[in-house]
Amino acid sequence: MREREIDRQEVKIERECLRVLALYEPVASDFRRVLTVLRVNRDLERISDLAARIAKRGEQAQRRARTPADPRAPRITASEALEAVRNALDALAKSDPAAARASSPATARSTAGGARCATA
């Protein structure tokens, strides 16, 4: 998706959340769920903005570089980030806090090295 389409989707989701809040007056757990969707929606839009900036700067750096960079390095990092986001969204959809904590890239790095990660 391009930036404008992502922005349109963000507005669409936000409007739907506000409609749910206005029309259905959700109780506590449902209210928290709608607020979570609003926050995640905002965060995903922010992630897309940052990813676009990173890509643009990477292209600029590549053009200025005297020696070609290994094109796999950014893809590996991007793949890890996308996997973490997917896992976090799956955990949200399943209402699974343990899976949400495990989806954190910091948690994955610390547990991959055999270290224990303390979570709240």
CATH of the domain at 25: 1.20.58.220
Residue 13 pLDDT: 95
User: Are 2 and 54 in the same domain?
Assistant: yes
Residue 114 pLDDT: 39
81 burial (CB, 10 Å; 0-12 / 13-18 / 19+) is middle
pLDDT at 116 exceeding the cut of 70: no
Compare 61 and 16 and report the one with higher pLDDT.
Answer: 16
- Sign of the CA dihedral with 105 first, then 110, 111, and 116 last: negative
Domain range for 86 is 70-120
Query: CB count, 10 Å around CB of 88?
Result: 19
Tens-digit pLDDT profile for residues 34-80: 999 999 999 999 998 888 888 888 888 878 877 666 666 666 677 88
pLDDT at 14 exceeding the cut of 90: yes
Nearest-angstrom CA–CA distance, 69 and 13: 39
- Three-class SS state of 41: helix
User: Are 57 and 108 in the same domain?
Assistant: no
User: Are 61 and 90 in the same domain?
Assistant: no
Compare 20 and 118 and report the one with higher pLDDT.
Answer: 20
At 7, which amino acid appears? D
Residue 54 pLDDT: 84
